[in-house]
Amino acid sequence: MNGFAQSSAGTSTASFSAEEARILSDLVGQLADLIERRGAPGADPALDRLLPAGYRDSEQDAAEFRRFTESDLADAKVRNARAVLLDLSRPARNRKQVVELDGEGLGAWLRTLTDLRLTLGARLAVERDGTMPSDADPMTVAIYEWLGFLQETLVESTS
């Protein structure tokens, strides 16, 4: 399992196995579906974290803010997810899914990895101090940590 690294051209590159690319694509597709099929706020803690309130001291201001901004914010998140899916669907090289990012692609990946971790974090009910509940599903925890590793290496690869 490899993370992202900076290439000699200054781009951020990673090489995924077919299995890793499949898992990641599956998760990103689910994320886009979750956002597109969202209901009213308050029904799903993951969506409440992805599309949070802009005001914490006034429900009325928060509702107004949401009315004017939520649709564009949700669209942007889905667009980022679709960009990541496209990057993961390019022809494989030597059975490896090679991803090379800079500029917009980098922003889409960092945001989408964040949104995936926020969603899984809500599903796992990660504690306020970042610890996992004792009954957390080990496979979900492993995926959450893998996404964190990808994101950490992607951030590092930009500097």
**In the set 56, 67, 93, 95, which binds other proteins (CB under 8 A)?**
56
3-class DSSP string for 88-101: HCCCCECCEEEEEE
Expressed in percent and rounded to 5, the helix, strand and coil fractions of the chain are: 60, 10, 30
User: Does 95 contact other proteins by CB under 8 A?
Assistant: no
User: Does 51 contact other proteins by CB under 8 A?
Assistant: yes
Q: What angle do CA 73, 79, 81 make, to 5 degrees?
A: 105
Nearer to other proteins, 73 or 98 (CB): 73
**In the set 128, 134, 138, 139, which binds other proteins (CB under 8 A)?**
128
User: Does 105 contact other proteins by CB under 8 A?
Assistant: no
Find tokens 């969506």 and name the residue.
47
Q: Give the residue among 114, 150, 134 at the shortest CA–CA distance from 1.
A: 150
> d(Cα 1, Cα 150) in Å, to the nearest integer?
10
User: Does 63 contact other proteins by CB under 8 A?
Assistant: no
Q: How many residues form the binding site for other proteins (CB under 8 A)? A: 34
Binding residues for other proteins (CB under 8 A)? 49-57, 65, 69, 72-73, 76-77, 107, 110-111, 114-115, 117-118, 121, 126-130, 148, 151-152, 155-156, 158
